Amino acid sequence: MNDPAAEEPTEAEAPVCPRHPDRVSYVRCQRCGRPTCPECQRPAAVGIQCVDCVRESKRAAPRIRTVFGGTATATANGRPVVTLTIIGICVVSWVLQLVTGGVWTQALWFLPWQGAMEPWRFLTASFLHSTSPLHILFNMYALWITGQFLEPLLGRARFVILCLLSAVGGSVGVLLLAGDPSTSGAWFTPVVGASGMVFGLFGAMLPVMRRLGRSMGQVLVLLAINGAIGFWVPNIAWQAHLGGLVTGALVATAYAYAPKERRDLVGWLVPVVGIAVLIGLAVWRYSSVGLL
């Protein structure tokens, strides 16, 4: 006579999760068939898959590109990661401006005459703002509105390049339009703010919207209003707005109208050519006034 207890599986024979051998699991991955504990289970179209199979399927899946060449999965969980990161950097930088009594600001702001000796200021000034909360709030809101639209379309890498080149382009605009150093105070007036970057995103909206076949009416109205503010409100560097606008529009045009078979090449050429042009303009300007 058979003993029923002898036919039951012992604890040693119970299936365990390969990643967590101390956990018994009677649920198996629908793809590889291995046991998988609740921590390693991921819902699939049919049943459950283990984390290893999910990772492998993502690696093997073809990358879907947008019409501009960006990866369609450029944002995590639908969030514009780059946009949020830039906003976070600006907020942290603004707090440092307040708590250091201006030391952080003076170390990173942009003055045209300083740029020749300390070129990093062409970029760092875009992450600073005046002590007025309205300045940073307005720029961050504009960055959020434009960034959450452009970043998924262009992809993270292209969007980062667009933002950085627009930021530098804004400072170059200030330099080119500073006037004669012997008579213009613009050479010795510090410039701070992400406005050059923001206007670069405004400028990028134009070729992107045109490429998508969408109406540009609202973008043009928004651009006109913000552009006019730079002339009506004192202490606003409209030169940075113009420099960022032109830079952003040119960068986005290259991305939007690049032939499909050459999008990867254009993706590499845009930052190289963009940096070379901006450096060339700055060097020419400094040489023309005897600072180089």
Classify residue 292 by its DSSP letter: -
What is the pLDDT at residue 14?
A: 83
The full 3-state SS of 45-99, as one line of letters, equals: CCCEEEHHHHHHHHHHCCCCECCCCCECCCCECCECHHHHHHHHHHHHHHHHHHH
Say which of 25, 93, 126, 241 is annotated catalytic: 241
Does residue 195 carry a catalytic annotation? yes
Looking at the domain 81-288, which fold is it?
Rhomboid-like fold (1.20.1540)
Say which of 195, 215, 287, 288 is annotated catalytic: 195
What is the pLDDT at residue 12?
A: 53
What is the pLDDT at residue 84?
A: 96
What is the pLDDT at residue 171?
A: 97
What is the pLDDT at residue 230?
A: 64
What is the pLDDT at residue 63?
A: 62
Backbone angles phi, psi at 289, to 5 degrees: -110, 10
What is the pLDDT at residue 52?
A: 87
Residue ranges in the chain whose pLDDT is less than 50? 1, 5-6, 8-9, 74-77
What is the pLDDT at residue 249?
A: 96
What is the pLDDT at residue 108?
A: 96
Q: What is the pLDDT of residues 72-124, one digit of tens each?
A: 554 444 689 999 999 999 999 999 999 998 899 999 999 999 999 999 999 99
What residue segments make up the domains of the chain, in order of their start? 14-56, 81-288
Does residue 287 carry a catalytic annotation? no
What is the pLDDT at residue 233?
A: 62
Q: What is the DSSP string of 165-223?
A: HHHHHHHHHHHHTS--TTT-GGGGS-B--SHHHHHHHHHHHHHHHHHHT---HHHHHHH
What is the pLDDT at residue 74?
A: 43
Q: What is the pLDDT of residues 214-227, one digit of tens each?
A: 877 777 777 777 76
Q: How many CB atoms lie within 10 A of CB 29?
A: 23
What is the pLDDT at residue 45?
A: 74
